[in-house]
Chains A and B, each alone.
Chain A
C-alpha cells in the first residue's frame, strides 16, 4: 500500500500539478501566439498570422543595441563570477580555516539581502569613491548577486569528487596547481559550465541593480522596462521577448541536463587519466540510469 496518498488523492495531486504547469506556461504561450498576430496592439481579435514583428526587430536599432549591451555585460560578469566562484567553492567545501563561517556568510549573504538595499548600498559606494555609473558598475554588482548561485552550483559537484583522487595526485608528487588543473578542474567542468550559464542568465535579466547603477547605459531589461511603462508597447516587444525567453530556456535546460548527466557518470563511472594528464570519467554508458 502506498502511504503517501490514496488513489483519489493521487488523482487530485496530479491535477494540481498539471494546473500549476498551465499556470506557469500559459502566459508565455499566450505571449508566443500573439507575437504572430497581425495587429498593432497585442490582443484579440486574431487578425491573421504574420512574422512582420520579428522581421521588424532587425530594423529596431534600440532593441538591438540593448541586446548587445546586455549580452557583453553578462559575458564579462559570468566570466568573473565563475573565476571567483571556483576557488571560493573549493575553499568552503574542501578546507577548514579560521574565519570560514564568516567568509561563507559574506559570500552567500547577497542571497538574503533585498536587491533595493544592494542597489542603494552600491550607489553610495560608487559615488563615494567616484567610479562613474555604467557597464563597469553593473558588472561589479552582477558578480555580487550571482556569486552565491555559482558557489551553490559548484559545491554539490565538489562533494561528489572523492578527495582521495586529489590526495593520490599529491602523493604522486603533483603540486597543488597541477592537481587542480589535471584532476579537480576537469571533473568539476560540467558544474562550471552550468554555473556559467546560470550566471549569464541572471546578469542578462537583472533590472533592479541596473535601475540604480546603469548610468546612461541601456541594458535589455532597462529597455523593456521603459517600454512597459508606456500605455502601449511596440508590437515588436513580444517578438523579442519570445526569442529571449526561448534562448534563456535553452541555456538553463542544457545547463541542468548537462549537470545531471555528468553527476550520474561521476557516480557510476571510472576515472581515466589520459596521456595529456587530464582526468575524465568513463565507463558508464549514457542512459544507463534511465532518462535522467
Chain B
C-alpha cells in the first residue's frame, strides 16, 4: 500500500500489522452474518439433498443417498430430460426467463442508448425516471396489471361496456403466458437499462468520430464500434434478469393462472405442501448449479457495480 516514503520499514510493518488486525475487526461482523445466514444454509441444502442431514421433514432419507437427485433428474414433470424442448418445469422456467430477459433487453437498449449518447445533461434525471418504478413496490405493480388485464379489468370492461365492441373478455389477456411475459418484462426493463447505460456512457466518443472520419456511416459505426463495446452491459443486463426470473414463482402464480406453475413453484411446494424437503433441496441446488455455470461463462463481463450506479 502506498504510504508516504518518510516512514521507515519498521514503522510501516507495524502499521501494516495494525491495519490488518483492524481490517478483520471491521469486516468481521458483516462477514460472520453472511457466512452464518447465507453460505452455511446453501451448503446445508447441498448436504441435505444427498441425505447428509436428515430428520427435518417426515419423509427424509436418513443416510447418504442420490435418490432425491435421481428422482428429480429422471422425472418428466420436473426435468423432462436434458432436452431444452422437453416438457419439464425446469425448461418451462428457462423459456420464461429467456423470453423475459430478451424482451427487456430489446425494450431497454434504445432508451439506454438515447440517454447515454444523446440526452446531454438531462441524462441522469431521465434515467431516474426510468428506474424509479423498479424501486417501488413489486407486488403493487403486479396489482396494477391485474386491474388492467383481468377479465373484469379496465381493458375488458372498456371494450365491452364502454365501446361495446365485444361481449366477452378477451381470451389470453390474463391467467396466461402472455400475462406472465408482459408483467415480468415490465418489472425488469428498468433494471436492464442501467448496465447498458453505464457501458454506453463509458465509450470514448473519439472512437465514433474516428469511425466517421474513416468513412463509416452511422449505421455501420453502430454495428462495428458502439454495439460491440456495449456487449458487457447487455450481458450484465441479461444475467441480472435471467437469474432472478428462473426461480420466480410469485408473479407467475398471480398472473399466469393454470399456466403459472413454474420450477420455482415446484421447489416452493415441495417445502410447503409436499413435505418432500430433500427432493426440493435437490431442485434448489440444481438452480444454484445453473446459476454457477452461467456466472462461470459470463462472469468476466459482469460488473456488479453497474447495477447500483
Binding site for B on A (CB under 8 A): 1-6, 9-10, 12-14, 16-17, 20-21, 23-25, 27-28, 30-31, 34, 41-45, 84-85, 87-88, 90-92, 95-97, 103, 106-125, 127-128, 140-141, 143-144, 147-149, 152-153, 155-156, 167, 176, 198, 201, 204-205, 207-208, 211-212, 221, 224-225, 228-229, 232-233, 237-238, 241, 244-245, 248-249, 252-253, 256, 260, 290-292
Which residues of chain A come closer than 8 Å to B40, judged between CB atoms? 125
Contact indicator B145/A24 (Cβ below 8 Å): no
Query: Could you list some 19 contacts between A and B, CB below 8 A?
Result: A5-B117, A10-B118, A23-B107, A31-B143, A90-B26, A97-B27, A114-B264, A116-B249, A120-B284, A124-B44, A127-B56, A128-B56, A205-B138, A207-B139, A207-B250, A211-B250, A224-B140, A245-B140, A248-B136
Q: Would you call B221 an interface residue if the criterion is a C-beta within 8 Å of the partner chain's C-beta atoms?
A: yes
Contact indicator A45/B157 (Cβ below 8 Å): yes
Contact indicator B26/A228 (Cβ below 8 Å): no
Contact indicator A237/B143 (Cβ below 8 Å): yes
**For the complex, what is the distance from the CA of A36 to the CA of B58, rounded to whole Å?**
50
Contact indicator B144/A110 (Cβ below 8 Å): no
Q: Would you call B212 an interface residue if the criterion is a C-beta within 8 Å of the partner chain's C-beta atoms?
A: yes
Contact indicator B287/A114 (Cβ below 8 Å): yes
Contact indicator A224/B132 (Cβ below 8 Å): no
CB distance from B92 to the nearest CB of A (A): 15
Contact indicator B247/A114 (Cβ below 8 Å): yes
Contact indicator B128/A16 (Cβ below 8 Å): no
Residues B269-292 near A (CB distance < 8 A): 271-272, 277, 280-281, 284, 287-288, 291
Contact indicator A88/B218 (Cβ below 8 Å): no
**For the complex, what is the distance from the CA of A12 to the CA of B284, rounded to whole Å?**
44
Which residues of chain B come closer than 8 Å to A204, judged between CB atoms? 137
Q: Would you call B231 an interface residue if the criterion is a C-beta within 8 Å of the partner chain's C-beta atoms?
A: no
Q: For B153, B239, B247, B267, which residue has the most chain A Cβ atoms within 10 angstroms?
A: B247
Which residues of chain B come closer than 8 Å to A5, judged between CB atoms? 114, 117-118, 218
Q: A88-B27, A91-B26, A155-B305 are in contact. List 6 more A-B contacts (CB 8 A).
A: A20-B108, A115-B247, A120-B281, A144-B34, A152-B308, A156-B305
Chain B 104-123, CB within 8 Å of chain A: the 1/0 string? 00011011011101100110
Contact indicator A124/B281 (Cβ below 8 Å): yes
CB distance from A147 to the nearest CB of B (A): 7
Known contacts A28-B133, A44-B162; A87 and B27 CB within 8 A of each other? yes
CB distance from B236 to the nearest CB of A (A): 11
Q: Would you call B39 an interface residue if the criterion is a C-beta within 8 Å of the partner chain's C-beta atoms?
A: yes
Chain B 31-75, CB within 8 Å of chain A: the 1/0 string? 101110111111011001000010010000000000000000000
Contact indicator B271/A103 (Cβ below 8 Å): no
Q: Would you call B307 an interface residue if the criterion is a C-beta within 8 Å of the partner chain's C-beta atoms?
A: yes
Which residues of chain A come closer than 8 Å to B45, judged between CB atoms? 117, 120-121, 124
Contact indicator B136/A201 (Cβ below 8 Å): yes
Contact indicator A121/B114 (Cβ below 8 Å): no
Which residues of chain B come closer than 8 Å to A148, judged between CB atoms? 304
**Contacting residue for B161 out of A45, A110, A119, CB 8 A:** A45
CB distance from B278 to the nearest CB of A (A): 10
Contact indicator A125/B37 (Cβ below 8 Å): yes
Contact indicator B153/A106 (Cβ below 8 Å): no
Which residues of chain B come closer than 8 Å to A232, judged between CB atoms? 152
Which residues of chain A come closer than 8 Å to B295, judged between CB atoms? 112
Contact indicator A205/B139 (Cβ below 8 Å): yes
Which residues of chain B come closer than 8 Å to A27, judged between CB atoms? 141, 144-145, 147-148, 186
Contact indicator B118/A20 (Cβ below 8 Å): no
Binding site for A on B (CB under 8 A): 1, 3-4, 19-20, 22-24, 26-27, 29-31, 33-35, 37-42, 44-45, 48, 53, 56, 107-108, 110-111, 113-115, 117-118, 121-122, 124-126, 128-130, 132-133, 135-148, 152-154, 156-158, 161-162, 186, 189-190, 205, 208-209, 211-212, 218, 221, 226, 239-240, 243-244, 246-250, 253-254, 264, 267-268, 271-272, 277, 280-281, 284, 287-288, 291, 295, 304-305, 307-309
Contact indicator B125/A292 (Cβ below 8 Å): yes
Contact indicator A118/B114 (Cβ below 8 Å): no
**Contacting residue for A41 out of B122, B126, B152, B268, CB 8 A:** B152
Nearest 10 A-B pairs (CB), nearest first? A114-B247, A152-B308, A121-B41, A87-B26, A27-B144, A44-B157, A4-B117, A91-B27, A3-B208, A88-B30
Which residues of chain B come closer than 8 Å to A44, judged between CB atoms? 154, 157-158, 161-162
Which residues of chain B come closer than 8 Å to A128, judged between CB atoms? 44, 53, 56
Which residues of chain A come closer than 8 Å to B268, judged between CB atoms? 116, 119-120, 211-212
Known contacts A115-B247, A207-B250, A249-B132; A147 and B34 CB within 8 A of each other? yes
CB distance from A236 to the nearest CB of B (A): 12
**Contacting residue for B153 out of A25, A43, A124, CB 8 A:** A43
Known contacts A87-B26, A125-B44, A253-B128; A114 and B136 CB within 8 A of each other? no
**Contacting residue for B41 out of A6, A24, A106, A125, CB 8 A:** A125
Closest to B124 in A: A292
